[in-house]
Amino acid sequence: MAEYLSCVHTHTEFCDGKSSMEEMVLAALEMNYKSLGFSPHSPLPYENDWAMKKEDLPAYFAEHARLKRLYGDRIDLLCGIEWDEESTDLPDGLDYVIGSVHSFSKRGIHFSVDYSKDLLARVVKEGYDGDFLALCADYYELLCTQGAKKQVDILGHFDLFFKYNKDGCFIDENDPRYLALAFKAADELVLARPDLYFEINVGGMARAGRPYPYPAPAVLCRLKERGARFVLTGDCHSVEQLKRGYGAVDVSFLDRLSGSLYLLDGRGFVLF
Ligand SMILES: [Zn+2]
Ligand SMILES: [Zn+2]
């Protein structure tokens, strides 16, 4: 397996991560990473326990600048954000933006697709009459809206709603009706944004026992066929997760997919 030397999807104590930014930098140095990008969850207009607070933005930028001064000669430290579809504004001065959908309001309810399996099951039952496919359709509509925004550099975890789909308990991931929806979203996004990077996110493999990254293999292949570009990330929420690196998850399929190893672009993304 290739040696992957960057992660640009990283959460710290500024949102729902468990480690400080400096602890993450030290871990990345220990792992010989060439670059590390921070991507706190963008501030949200409602009460929650996982996104960065708007008033913490100046401290976040200041800490990034301090760490860059301290460690910048040894590692490329990037200041990014994971911009949620529900966040109203986007701060200036970022190195890059990951555009993601986590939660949304549909059918009279507001919910997150990655908060807990119980919540998701309740939403599907009560809000969608058991129709998980309809939830996927709503999610993809928002994902396409988010990915079309020119400020977005990387599209985050394409099919995040699979997080709790262990053994297909919500849906068969190869159901042709599902794949038709997913391919439509993939095609639309590549067409609208040929410059967009699609994230290959192994965070669900490390933290939620997913057998493969987001997006699932069929969609990854579709995106590849359409000429999409990819960036590999760990969606790391702690030093421990960062230190496990990419070696703890089987990413050998990437070599089959791309036939090549990696290339670090000018902004510190490991590309496929
Ligand atoms: Zn996310
Ligand atoms: Zn994230």
> For each successive 10 residues of the chain (272 residues), what is the average pLDDT?
79 98 97 95 94 98 98 97 95 97 91 93 94 97 97 98 95 97 98 96 86 91 91 94 80 65 78 80
The predicted structure's pLDDT at residue 264: 79
The angle subtended at Cα 33 by Cα 80 and Cα 57, nearest 5°, is 20
Q: How far is the CA of 218 from the centre of ligand 1 (A)?
A: 21
Ligand nearest to the CA of 115: 1
Structure tokens at 264: 């670090």
How close is the Cα of 134 to the center of ligand 2, in Å? 24
132-148 vs 176-192: helix axis angle to the nearest 10?
Answer: 10
pLDDT of residue 207: 80
CA of 15 to the centre of ligand 2 (A): 10
CA dist 213 and 157 (Å) reads: 8
191-201 burial code (b ≥16 CB/10 A, e <16):
eebeebbbbbb
Query: Which residues, listed in sequence order, are joined to residue 270 by a DSSP beta bridge?
Result: 264
Residues 6+ apart with CB under 8 A from 67: 21, 22, 25, 77
11 CA to centre of ligand 2 in angstroms: 6
CATH number for the region 6-271 comes to 3.20.20.140
Proximal ligand: closest to the CA of 157: 1
At residue 74, the pLDDT reads 97
Backbone torsions φ then ψ of 26, nearest 5 degrees: -60, -40
What pLDDT was estimated at residue 1? 43
The bridge status of strand 154-155 relative to strand 197-201 is: parallel
- Give which of 145, 47, 39 is closest to 91, Cα–Cα: 39
Domain boundaries, the chain: 6-271
Q: How far is the CA of 102 from the centre of ligand 2 (A)?
A: 9
Quote the pLDDT of residue 197: 96
Closest ligand, as measured to the CA of 84: 1
174 C-alpha to ligand 2 centroid (Å): 25
229 Cα to the center of ligand 2, angstroms: 19
Ligand closest to Cα of 237 equals 2
At 222, phi and psi to the nearest 5? -60, -45
